[in-house]
Structure 1
């Protein structure tokens, strides 16, 4: 279906190019609505062990009965290795993958982008957030998942091979997309009617990259908490760690830089100033734009007059936190990544993990082995003394792979060109938590605003961004983080129902949401950016009691 529509667009473009010149540019060709997917049945599972594809070795084809894992239907699990080779570093590499093909197929295909720095073939179940109610597999999708071209044992070394860098950045999806379509055709006797690409965190980055490199192959894209500027974010994390170390009572132990009690003091100040901006005090900051204007760190958080005792922040701690919120910079004042929303989610354990642990444990690994032009072990050995200016410059320099990290890890071009996605009728829904401590929702908002400007305020015709107040990285936090975004994307792609808002619920197993006072199942609307939810009266646990309105903005109070 996608390929046929792409050909139609190409033909229309040729006709337009050959027409006589006119005073104004002609609008893009109209694209018919994608036909809904139709069900199909799996042929013989075990026969897929004989599936043949270029540079691919099938390692297993096994029938898996319903309930393995819990909630999964009967399906066939096929595993394989593609592009097996010996790298320039002398190590063996391949793109490892698995594909799960349900016996009762919905006619849909899903590429599952995985998180972290990959290195493992996550079960191809179609799960992207902790708040997802039903997996993609349970909904009848045929799903592929991969290790992005390296194993877990190679996570500390694959950056020494140029091709492995490219596979991690974008080439795995480029390689596996036609393979997945061929395997589906072999399994069901026909190809998919509709194709989707989704993932969270680094998987969200994979999705954003695919939306620029593979837009003519997919009908829908669902990036969650997308780290689409991951090299910038990783360098920024190291820079933040160095700042936090300046206020650590035990140098090198960032947990002593700002304690849980001190973070709670900050959150309390934010909530007192911002919680009621949506006309309901419920432990959530719905209007983040106005909160950034009315919250004052110096005024609203007590400053210690003596020793730190957990009830205040020192002036030095406030200075560090202010730099983190504003976006850390190089020595010349150039912003490395992005600002972060002022949000009460600073109390989340997730916030501490990213800022005070991963920033010195995993980010230096990625920066030192994958994102620098050539691997530099000293960054991993001493991240708290690394030269931030050199790291920031390094992610823009081509090296081992022939491309810089900001080329092979990010969306193609200037990240605002979505002509192919638009012209083929594809759609994208972006989900991002305001309390995400590693990939900033501010960066996603900046990106959407740039895209919207590039398309003359018409980007919502094919891309919609839904921030999630209080949600941590991918899921969790004091938030209503249970939402059927995949279902909303299918409705938009196949039925033309563009989502103006998504209904999200608080999960009873989300301890941080319960601690904030949200009732299990409490609803909030996730509003399409830049609108925010405002309480209009009635049951505070019902989404019907909220309306999506423009931010109230306003000067400092």
Structure 2
């Protein structure tokens, strides 16, 4: 069975419309040609026609138009291919493993391929539709005519127990995508008589991590990379979240409920204090903080939020709470005080249920298993593992040491197989004309947007202070993890990415809509009732900030400019 060798690693400490920069062409870099369309002439016989080493096609099903509906829109007729690659029995845990996948091939094909990076710890083959943003997007890649693949990343059971098998760890980290890519392109060639003219890779959360990993490990395989809220330092972010749980436990009023350490009312108090200092910095008092960097200088937790002189009643934070919150927002540290993960911006989206879920529920339910069973060397004993006990009583120092460790069974550390390789150096991607678009919610509670900002600044520095001719970063004000929060989070970034890759139209901004009551795709309950339910805002390419023009409808993106 073929295995992929690991190179060196250097880790870092209504439909929206597109606004396109004038000029549009990046003349200093190669201009890739546009994809040409094709037609799928048959479907069910592809089960016997598709042939690739170590690959079994289990089914080829003709899916009629309208059978699948995504984003409120019936998906056109297409062919669903299911299969698996590299089946094996683990010599370590005795379980069966394979890389499971499905491909959806439209009859009316636009000549493009989209690799769908999925979230969490993978473990299931999610419907291969290809998201254009983190959640509740207005369309999808399959609707646009892309051939799309989705996979379980090498294990068929959700959860963390697969981490006992060393190869399953590597497949989850980076090898499944590298293994599936040539197979998928070969299958497309069989189905259409030609391979894809242009290939794109995208996802949010762990899917964003998958995309950044592919950009550094497979820069020749894909022409466009759509990166959402990337957990590109996922083992460190998860360990930081566990450290946060331990800190919130010290101020919680109930040992069974971490959220009592920083209640919804108290989080709303802080968000409102942030808005009081920062809302108007972009020229509009509208419940959104566009200028995140200026806000961090303007807001001071100790000064701007009342300190309780008596019992906590929601109108203040205790001195102990302020100490905990300030320390966590400044970045998680080990026992010697060294920071091992990013700091966080104070923002307007702290009071949501989504924010609370990641901070108070995820440490025991998601992070503990991932750290203890997928990333530690050696892993914890799966049969006796208790996520709550691990997250609340485990040593952060030990976790950090073990996710960086290797042994004769687990020959790559989590800081190797999970992280992109030297992510500040995207020269191979850049020099062949490929492009990258990145977005990140500034109220993301699990992966800090400041971490992404720091990465992008390092990318700029590696490119003479400006990487905008091949990579652009779009902070999403108020958005929680991939979606939700008091925000405008419904947008299409795949269309502008294609236009940039294939037409040279560099996107200065992308318009995003709020999902208030009546939204055709999905309502975001976090949208304030005082907003227009269809509020729109430009998502500006960093370091520009959406700024109110001084006149015009404050609910419309047309009244804002990127400055």
TM-score normalised to structure 2 length? 0.90
SS in 2 for 1:166: helix
Matches within 5 A, 1:101-140: 101-127=105-131, 128-140=133-145
Q: Is the 8 A contact 1:344 1:470 kept in 2?
A: yes
Whole-Å Cα distance in 1 between the matches of residues 224 and 110 of structure 2?
Answer: 15
Which is further off, 141-150 or 372-381? 372-381
- Unaligned residue ranges in structure 2 (runs of 5+): 1-26, 517-521
Instruction: Name the residue aligned to 1:388.
Output: 396
Q: Which of 44, 47, 52 is the aligned partner of 1:46?
A: 44
User: What are the superposed Cα offsets for residues 327-364 of structure 1, whole Å, 9 maximum, x if unpaired?
Assistant: 11001111121111110111111110000000122100
Q: Is the 8 A contact 2:535 2:556 kept in 1?
A: yes
Whole-Å Cα distance in 2 between the matches of residues 62 and 362 of structure 1?
Answer: 34
Whole-Å Cα distance in 2 between the matches of residues 501 and 30 of structure 1?
Answer: 21
Instruction: Name the residue aligned to 2:405.
Output: 397
SS in 2 for 1:538: coil
Q: Which of 120, 144, 152 is the aligned partner of 2:149?
A: 144
Q: Is the 8 A contact 1:367 1:379 kept in 2?
A: no
Instruction: Kindly indicate whether residue 102 of structure 2 is the aligned counterpart of residue 98 of structure 1.
Output: yes
Aligned-residue offset at 1:523: 1.3
Q: Is the 8 A contact 1:283 1:516 kept in 2?
A: no
Instruction: Kindly indicate whether residue 516 of structure 2 is the aligned counterpart of residue 503 of structure 1.
Output: no
Q: Is the 8 A contact 1:478 1:516 kept in 2?
A: no
User: What are the superposed Cα offsets for residues 287-334 of structure 1, whole Å, 9 maximum, x if unpaired?
Assistant: 110110110111111111111112211111111111121011001111
Q: Which of 73, 78, 87 is the aligned partner of 1:75?
A: 78
Aligned-residue offset at 1:30: 6.2
Q: Which of 522, 525, 532 is the aligned partner of 2:535?
A: 522
Q: Is the 8 A contact 2:98 2:154 kept in 1?
A: yes
Aligned-residue offset at 1:386: 0.5
Instruction: Kindly indicate whether residue 455 of structure 2 is the aligned counterpart of residue 447 of structure 1.
Output: yes
Q: Is the 8 A contact 2:75 2:142 kept in 1?
A: yes
Instruction: Kindly indicate whether residue 211 of structure 2 is the aligned counterpart of residue 211 of structure 1.
Output: no
Whole-Å Cα distance in 2 between the matches of residues 407 and 195 of structure 1?
Answer: 26
Aligned-residue offset at 1:544: 2.0
- Unaligned residue ranges in structure 1 (runs of 5+): 1-28, 550-557
Whole-Å Cα distance in 1 between the matches of residues 226 and 160 of structure 2?
Answer: 29
Aligned-residue offset at 1:129: 2.1
Whole-Å Cα distance in 1 between the matches of residues 523 and 279 of structure 2?
Answer: 20
Whole-Å Cα distance in 1 between the matches of residues 233 and 524 of structure 2?
Answer: 30
Matches within 5 A, 1:342-353: 342-353=346-357
Q: Which of 546, 553, 556 is the aligned partner of 2:560?
A: 546
TM-score normalised to structure 1 length? 0.91
Q: Which of 402, 415, 419 is the aligned partner of 1:410?
A: 419
Whole-Å Cα distance in 2 between the matches of residues 169 and 517 of structure 1?
Answer: 43
Q: Is the 8 A contact 1:506 1:513 kept in 2?
A: no
SS in 1 for 2:433: coil
Whole-Å Cα distance in 2 between the matches of residues 379 and 187 of structure 1?
Answer: 47
Whole-Å Cα distance in 2 between the matches of residues 30 and 274 of structure 1?
Answer: 39
SS in 1 for 2:349: helix
Q: Is the 8 A contact 1:379 1:386 kept in 2?
A: no
Whole-Å Cα distance in 2 between the matches of residues 296 and 370 of structure 1?
Answer: 38
Whole-Å Cα distance in 2 between the matches of residues 48 and 267 of structure 1?
Answer: 54
Aligned-residue offset at 1:512: 4.2
SS in 2 for 1:337: coil
Matches within 5 A, 1:167-206: 167-206=171-210
Which is further off, 251-260 or 118-127? 251-260
Aligned-residue offset at 1:540: 1.0
SS in 2 for 1:281: coil
SS in 1 for 2:294: helix
Consecutive aligned runs of 4 or more in structure 1 exceeding 6 Å deviation: none
Q: CA RMSD in A?
A: 1.4
Aligned pair count reads 519
Instruction: Kindly indicate whether residue 469 of structure 2 is the aligned counterpart of residue 464 of structure 1.
Output: no
Q: Is the 8 A contact 2:30 2:431 kept in 1?
A: no
Whole-Å Cα distance in 2 between the matches of residues 511 and 197 of structure 1?
Answer: 26
Q: Which has the higher contact order (CA 8 A, sep 6+)?
A: 2
Whole-Å Cα distance in 2 between the matches of residues 318 and 391 of structure 1?
Answer: 26
Instruction: Name the residue aligned to 1:531.
Output: 544
Instruction: Kindly indicate whether residue 311 of structure 2 is the aligned counterpart of residue 311 of structure 1.
Output: no
Instruction: Name the residue aligned to 1:8.
Output: none
Aligned-residue offset at 1:516: 5.7
Whole-Å Cα distance in 1 between the matches of residues 183 and 243 of structure 2?
Answer: 41
Instruction: Name the residue aligned to 2:364.
Output: 360
Instruction: Name the residue aligned to 1:426.
Output: 434
Whole-Å Cα distance in 2 between the matches of residues 30 and 278 of structure 1?
Answer: 33
Identify, as 1 or 2, the structure richer in helix: 1
Which is further off, 529-538 or 425-434? 529-538
